[in-house]
Amino acid sequence: MNDTTELIQTLAQQVVTIVKQSLSQVAEPQMTTNLAWIETALRDMLRQVGAEALGQWLSTAQHTPEGERPCACGGTLRYQRSRPATVLSVFGRVTYARAYYAGCACGRGHAPLDEEYGVQPGQVSAGLSELLTLAGVELAFEHSQRWLKGFLLFEVSENTIRQETQALGQTQVVHETCLRKQSQDPTWLQAHLRTTEPIPTRLYGSLDAAKVRIEPRKKAEKQAETEAWRDVKVGCWYEAEAVPARQQSRRQRTVSERGQVSQRAAHIRYYCDLVDAKTFGEWMWATGCATHADRAHELVCVCDGAAWIWNLITTHYATAVQIVDWYHAADRLHRVAHAAFSPAEARERWLDRATTDLWEGRVAEVIQACANLGAQCPEAQDANTYFTNNQARMRYDNYRKAGYLIGSGTVESSCKQIVTQRLKCSGAQWVVPGAVTTAKARAAWLSAEWTPVCLRWADLPLAI
């Protein structure tokens, strides 16, 4: 047994003694055999020990104070005294003492230890900030407050959780703004083309949008009878991987039974914003450069039939393979069949023939089938236009041979996870900045971007 193990055992015995004494004073005798009570009491004791230990760590971390230090303004700061400060950490409120300097003509004070550890009095620590944001991106702020209290054993205000979550989202805004700026810089782009980083062999991109309720701010908007709903545009970059047989869904097993490789999205990176299509196209280009979509050996864009989506893809990634989501296209045929035919037998016969033609890439036959129904069926007229406009994006026979994913479920799932599950939870109503930063924080959490964002964000002062 090493010294560390012995020390832990000794400390554990001391904690047990203290918790037993505490429970004997405040609980009924039978509660000392209630495991839930014991667990909670031990957790709270360890939390208090952690708070004391962190305070001592910070208090003893500094060197012998110097008499004077240079001030950021160019003047001179003089040592005043050892001054206490408090930070809200994962253990609760932690108090520590550190050397404090003041006396410069600019009137600002300075504590070197605070700068060294990235804290300031009255702030949330970086470790707690990440936990608060994890709760904030998953749950409504009022619900995350109650949820966190059960884990942390102390209360953090709903407003603090909101501030932390949206502050992280704001760092993502800053980061994406930098990406957009560099992606429009000819010098950076030239260096980007010479990068030695791995280039994706086949990369996918998808776009979609979902509506979120925005609280009206202008007087005219507040007097309007209809609510203000705005489109949050969502995009994602991803690769594909084979799905093991034991993990395949019913739909994926059907794909395998057709002799194809069942695939799913992997290494997904999300981005989103509440902006017009042109501006979102700039985000698409910037994030695409960051993931080497512009240099991928093969870029495949799978989306629904919205015109704004294909306009952006054609503008920014003209050489990309463009595929209209198979399930959207097939659903169009289902809607036409149900609108045009009452007898089930005739409906199924028409639908089976049209779906087979679509699956085999015979889009001209599908267009003609819809045209034959157009005079008596508005749904068929709309479908005729839809298939005509997207005919070049529906060569599903060729796409299957190439091994492409032909479904846009990845980005539809993105909209559900980012917008529906978080921004449209019960009772939610947002102003634009809060919706954007919360959505971007959640997008970072769902992506591989979470750790880099947290590292950038840990350097920022986030007030309680």
Domain extents in the chain: 32-59+72-123, 201-415
> How many residues in total does the chain contain?
464
For 49-98, what is each residue's pLDDT tens digit? 999 999 999 999 988 899 999 999 999 999 999 999 999 999 999 999 99
For 440-460, what is each residue's pLDDT tens digit? 999 999 986 666 556 655 554
- Whether 341 shows a pLDDT value over 50: the answer reads yes
For 390-437, what is each residue's pLDDT tens digit? 999 999 999 999 999 998 888 899 999 999 999 998 767 899 999 999
For 197-243, what is each residue's pLDDT tens digit? 889 999 999 999 999 998 876 655 555 555 688 999 999 999 999 88
- Please tell me the predicted confidence (pLDDT) of residue 374: 73
- Whether 291 shows a pLDDT value over 70: the answer reads yes
Percent over 90 (pLDDT), the chain:
68
